[in-house]
Amino acid sequence: MQFERLKKSYRKQIIIGGLILVCVASAITITTTRAKYKLTENIPLVRGTINYKMPDMRVLAINISEDGTNYNIVDEIPTTGYELNSEKSVCKVATEKSGIENAPKDNNITIEYKEGKINFLGVTKHRTRCYLYFDKYVPTASEAILENITVNTGNPDFSRVATTDEGVFKIEDEMYGGYSYFWRGSVVNNYVKFANLCWRITRINGDGTIRLIYDGISCKANGLDQSKVIVLNTEAERYYSSRSYDNRSEYVGWTYENNKQRPTNPENGTPINIKIQLETWFKLNIEDLNFTEEIATGKFCNDRRTASIWVSTGNKFDYSTYIRQSTGAPSLSCLKEDIYEVKVGLITADEVTFAGGKNNINNTSFYLYSGKSYWTMSPNDWTGTKPGVYKIGINGNLSHSIVTDDNALKPVINLKASTHLKQGNGSQSNPYIVDN
């Protein structure tokens, strides 16, 4: 009995001893491991302070600004209300010798922003980081104007004059492409102040440029007011073509070349008198006063197509413009050879019809009426002895005028598509004001 108790006691001691050895071994292993981790933590990787900006720790940095100057970092690319600042936005590739701040711009990378998404084209290198800058979107003048008006559907009746405010219509623009928006009738929401002068919007061209016609030094209500036109100093200055050049049909041209329906090159032809007078006015009142930055080179149509065979002298004929106005079918189409790309021109007979005028019918209500006759740049006919050009008459009627008649001017210019408005709603008392 005593032997059995000793045997059991010995076994118990062996088990206890074994457990103690296991615990000691585990403790040694854990201590060693902890020591390794602790040693790693204590290795000084950098001495001093790491200086960095948040974009330096990212592949993509997104910055937005409300004023175009001060930018804040955000986490998401804006989907609406902002536009990518392509001048500030840049992608860089860091090298081992230079950090990302000193890295040059990678000119092989193109950044595209469309419908709230960014596309990077040409990213091929490791360590590429892109910095994106977004500015709050400010609508262009044409966008701002169209946002605040209702565009009519369908076409107006061009067989009659427009004596009421018929609003704004849309038509295919064959010269500029796209669609043109034109104001018609006794409209009161197309006033613009620019270059210290008052203008009226005749139409927004298909490329977003805005066509304006002079309407006086100050903005006046629709109706009789001869201060809305420019009367040149002498009668000879007011001729479309001088008396020395009034006996051939080609003298209806904005520029002309003798014995030709139109010059070989419109820009190289001899300028007609009224073109010279108009450009003189433009230089003194716009160019010399430094207001040309917002003015686009416009497309002006001096349509010399004919309804029958053209001759320099001899048999009479009508120009195609006369046929269109007589039948109530105005158009914005024009032959390339008849288009003048210049800073200033005159309204065309087709544009007068769009605005509410009509061939040989009075209209003292629409916005182009002033009570003083003034030139268009649209040929009318060849009488057999004198060339004729369209004018807007003293009663607001679109009518024939020989080139040596005494008529006034209403200059026409085009604002650039990038133009922005400072304020205004287009009314006479609160006209649109160009931000220049």
Give pLDDT tens digits for 129-168: 899 999 999 999 999 999 999 999 999 999 999 999 999 9
- The mean per-residue pLDDT over the stretch 264-291 comes to 95
Taking CA atoms, 180 is separated from 39, 168, 183, 186, 321, in Å, by 76, 10, 10, 19, 19
Single out the residue in 136, 160, 192 at which a domain terminates: 136
What is the bridge-based pairing of β-strands 110-114 and 270-271? Answer: unpaired
Distance CA 115, CA 96 (A): 36
Does 92 map to a domain? yes
Taking CA atoms, 291 is separated from 197, 219, 282, 341, in Å, by 11, 19, 10, 18
Q: Read off the pLDDT band of 295 (50, 70, 90).
A: very high
Q: Which residues pair with 413 in a beta bridge?
A: 212
pTM over 0.85: no
Report the SS3 class of residue 273. helix
Instruction: Count CB-CB contacts under 10 A for residue 133.
Output: 19
Distance CA 115, CA 200 (A): 34
pLDDT in tens, 27-82: 444 444 443 333 333 334 344 443 434 444 458 899 999 988 999 999 999 988 99
Higher pLDDT, 102 or 269: 269
Distance CA 261, CA 66 (A): 56
Mean pLDDT score of the chain: 88
Please give the pLDDT value at position 59.
Answer: 80
Q: Helix and strand tally (H, E) in the chain?
A: 5, 24
Does 426 map to a domain? yes
Q: Which residue has the tokens 């009663």?
A: 395
Instruction: Count CB-CB contacts under 10 A for residue 343.
Output: 18
Instruction: Look at residues 342, 336, 339, 404 and name the one whose alpha carbon lies nearest to residue 375.
Output: 404
Single out the residue in 136, 165, 183 at which a domain terminates: 136
Higher pLDDT, 29 or 365: 365
What are residue 87's phi and psi, to 5 degrees? Answer: -75, -40
Q: Read off the pLDDT band of 322 (50, 70, 90).
A: very high
Percentage of residues of the chain with pLDDT beyond 90: 76
Q: Quick one: 192 and 337 in the same domain?
A: yes
Residue 275: pLDDT over 50: yes
Q: Read off the pLDDT band of 20 (50, 70, 90).
A: low
Q: Quick one: 108 and 172 in the same domain?
A: no
Q: Read off the pLDDT band of 13 (50, 70, 90).
A: low
Q: Quick one: 249 and 347 in the same domain?
A: yes
Does 40 map to a domain? no
Higher pLDDT, 193 or 26: 193
Q: Quick one: 117 and 264 in the same domain?
A: no
Q: Quick one: 252 and 390 in the same domain?
A: yes
Higher pLDDT, 18 or 202: 202
Taking CA atoms, 393 is separated from 110, 279, 318, 358, 375, in Å, by 56, 23, 20, 11, 9
Instruction: Count CB-CB contacts under 10 A for residue 88.
Output: 15
Does 171 map to a domain? yes
Does 399 map to a domain? yes
- Which domain range does residue 130 map to? 54-136
Contact criterion met (CB below 8 Å) for 406 and 238: yes
Contact criterion met (CB below 8 Å) for 301 and 348: yes
Q: Quick one: 177 and 61 in the same domain?
A: no
Instruction: Look at residues 280, 274, 283 and name the one whose alpha carbon lies nearest to residue 237.
Output: 274
Structural domain count of the chain: 2
Does 244 map to a domain? yes
Instruction: Look at residues 203, 180, 200 and name the one whose alpha carbon lies nearest to residue 190.
Output: 200
Does 63 map to a domain? yes
Residue 12: pLDDT over 80: no
Q: Quick one: 124 and 149 in the same domain?
A: no
Q: Quick one: 97 and 228 in the same domain?
A: no
- The mean per-residue pLDDT over the stretch 246-266 comes to 95
Q: Cα torsion for 255, 256, 262, 266, to the nearest 10°?
A: -40
Q: Quick one: 156 and 283 in the same domain?
A: yes
Please give the pLDDT value at position 294.
Answer: 97
Distance CA 244, CA 232 (A): 19
Residue type, 251: Y
- The mean per-residue pLDDT over the stretch 393-410 comes to 97
